[in-house]
Amino acid sequence: MAETSLSRTRRARRMNAELARIHPDAHCELDFRTPLELTVATILSAQTTDKMVNSVTPTLFARYPTAADYAGADPAEMEALLTPTGFFRAKTRSVIGLGQALVERYGGEVPAKLADLVTLPGIGRKTANVVLGNAFGIPGITADTHFQRLVRRWAWTAETDPVKIEHAVGPLIPRMEWTILSHRVIFHGRRVCHARKPACGACALATWCPSYGDGPVDRDVAAKLIKGPDSAARARAAALGLPVRTPDELAELAMEQSA
């Protein structure tokens, strides 16, 4: 029997609540202090890891603190800084172009509207939603590759186009949670629900997941697939329905037990 839109919404909201429980540390993993820094970091994150971007941006942000600094940057100097992130020539053009556009059109400030952001060099809808949600507190869904893969695996939608996925998932979850939902799903994709071998047997979402069994269902086998801080303990706790503690909470508990 086909799932109704109402039952899909209820299932999605239960899964979102469980994601909140098992990933209380979900957050934007790009380091930034200002909307401009986040915009640049997100552009640089294409085809590389957040960790790699975070290793480059302290020097970059110190060298180019304003949009005007990016606008007037020497391409060769910036390329040298961005080389570790890959596609450094294209990224250099985008970042310099971003600085120029911000100075010319927005007084050097990053605009807080989706329609404006997507007109800027190097910024598509996904990047714009990252900036809006994390720098301005304006809810948005970031349909990156992890998000797209998981919401299809969970049968929240069958769409394959990122914009259509965004519009299909949005009504399932309260708008105020769109940004944190994106982080929770991305964390789950990186830590538990891997593309080739999801850790089904150690996944707290198994009850609601129509793809349960795509990966190993044995709890101990699946737990070994979990990635992230204190991964094995978190995986086993989630599988057993026990409270999932953050690394800080675990450290505090250990101190209490040793006292």
pLDDT at 256: 52
Looking at the structure, do residues 110 and 55 belong to the same domain, yes or no?
A: yes
Looking at the structure, do residues 79 and 167 belong to the same domain, yes or no?
A: no
Looking at the structure, do residues 42 and 120 belong to the same domain, yes or no?
A: yes
pLDDT at 224: 86
Give tens-digit pLDDT for 71-126: 999 999 999 999 999 999 999 999 999 999 999 999 999 999 999 999 999 999 99
- Asked whether the beta carbons of 207 and 230 are under 8 A apart, the reply is no
Q: In total, how many domains does the chain have? A: 3
State which of 103, 120, 135 marks the end of a domain. Answer: 135
Looking at the structure, do residues 163 and 252 belong to the same domain, yes or no?
A: no
Give tens-digit pLDDT for 17-63: 999 988 888 999 999 999 999 999 999 999 999 999 999 999 999 99
State which of 93, 111, 135 marks the end of a domain. Answer: 135
Catalytic residue IDs: 126, 144
The token pair at 141 is: 């869904």
Which residues contact residue 241 at a Cβ distance below 8 angstroms, ignoring those fewer than 6 apart?
204
Which residues contact residue 10 at a Cβ distance below 8 angstroms, ignoring those fewer than 6 apart?
none
Looking at the structure, do residues 101 and 147 belong to the same domain, yes or no?
A: no
Give the residue numbers spanning the domain of 210. Answer: 200-258
Looking at the structure, do residues 129 and 46 belong to the same domain, yes or no?
A: yes
